[in-house]
């Protein structure tokens, strides 16, 4: 099955700085890569996703890049704010005609200091 | 707003009793829902895939007789933890998707189960 590795496990940045979280995957058949933000005591919230036919996607301060050849994808958060503090999970899935299961990374605890 | 509703958000029960957790897709039909378990400071562990109108598919190591899943309608799946024990205490989260190729997977807000 798929194996998703996520780094770093913890990340501390100063407000206004950028944060980058990196993930690698093992199954070349994976074609869908979402990122989730989980606040304490809540369920994961989808913040951005990317499909394998796209190399980069942006949504305001958040961007995701995908390198299919190297099998890695990254989350970039610019101009970080204290409210960005949370656990971020990357995931990979093979989505075809049916809904493929998600394989999650171990998560990154992001702390943004004011 | 939320597209997947989970209830209750927290529950405390005594050892040996059963607890039911509901997961609803709010404005769409979900033929497939997923149930996850999450321990503190850990990632989400898939327990089972719930399919409307058929038996759930359980991941290896998950006891299907202990974690009963019923996907009775296109908008509702339930997870029942039977004969709960303290080691079943955890955060349980469901997720659902509209099922189309481009549809993302949305998660409920989870249920914190504490077994005393």
Structure tokens at B105: 């997977």
What is the token pair recorded at A103? Answer: 């394989």
Angle at B81 between CA B46 and CA B33, to 5 degrees: 40
Set of chain A residues whose Cβ sits within 8 Å of the Cβ of B109: 42-43
The answer to whether the Cβ–Cβ distance between B99 and A34 falls below 8 Å is no
Alpha-carbon distances, residue B23 vs B32, B56, B91 (angstroms): 11, 14, 14
Residues B91-110 pLDDT 10s: 999 999 876 666 788 899 99
Q: What percent of chain A shows pLDDT beyond 70?
A: 96
- By the CB < 8 Å criterion, does A97 face chain B? yes
Dist. CA A90–CA A80, nearest whole Å: 18
Contacts of A93-98 spanning 24+ positions with Cβ under 8 A: A93/A2, A93/A30, A93/A31, A93/A32, A93/A33, A93/A34, A94/A2, A94/A27, A94/A29, A94/A30, A94/A31, A94/A32, A95/A31, A95/A32, A95/B101, A96/B101, A97/B101
- The 10s digit of each residue's pLDDT in A63-81 is 999 999 999 999 999 999 9
Q: How far is A93 from chain B (nearest CA, A)?
A: 11
List the single residue in B with minimal CA-CA distance to A105.
Answer: B43
pLDDT digits (tens, 9 = 90+) for B29-69: 888 899 999 999 899 999 999 888 888 999 999 999 999 99
Q: How many CB pairs lie under 8 A apart between chains A and B?
A: 48
For residue A107, give the nearest of B43, B46, B107 by CB distance. Answer: B43
Contacts of B4 in chain A (CB under 8 A): 43
pLDDT at position B2 is: 62
Residue in B42, B43, B107 closest to A43 by CB: B107
Reading the block at residue B2, the tokens are 């939320």
Cα–Cα distance measured from residue A63 to residue A114, given in angstroms and rounded to the nearest whole number: 22
At residue A97, does pLDDT exceed 60? no
Q: Judge whether B44 and B71 are in contact, CB under 8 Å.
A: no
Check if B61 contacts A (Cβ < 8 Å). no
């Amino acid at each position: 099955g798929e194996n998703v590795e996520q780094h770093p496990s913890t990340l501390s940045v100063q407000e206004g700085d950028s944060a980058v979280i990196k993930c690698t995957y093992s199954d070349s058949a994976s074609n869908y890569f979402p990122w989730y933000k989980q606040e304490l005591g809540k369920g994961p919230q989808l913040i951005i996703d990317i499909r394998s036919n796209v190399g980069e996607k942006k949504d305001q301060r958040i961007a995701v890049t995908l390198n299919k050849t190297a099998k890695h994808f990254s989350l970039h958060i610019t101009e970080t704010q204290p409210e960005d503090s949370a656990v971020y999970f990357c995931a990979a899935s093979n989505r075809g005609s049916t809904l493929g299961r998600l394989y999650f990374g171990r998560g990154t605890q992001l702390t943004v200091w004011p | 707003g939320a597209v997947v509703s989970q209830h209750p958000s927290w529950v405390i029960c005594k050892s040996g009793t059963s607890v039911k957790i509901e997961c609803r897709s709010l404005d769409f039909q979900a033929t497939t829902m997923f149930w996850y378990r999450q321990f503190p400071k850990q990632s989400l562990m898939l327990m089972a895939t719930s399919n409307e109108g058929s038996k759930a598919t359980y991941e290896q190591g998950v006891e299907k007789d202990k974690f009963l899943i019923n996907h009775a309608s296109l908008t509702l799946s339930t997870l029942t933890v039977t004969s709960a024990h303290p080691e079943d205490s955890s955060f349980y989260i469901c997720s659902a998707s509209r099922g189309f190729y481009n549809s993302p997977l949305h998660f409920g807000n989870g249920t914190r189960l504490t077994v005393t």
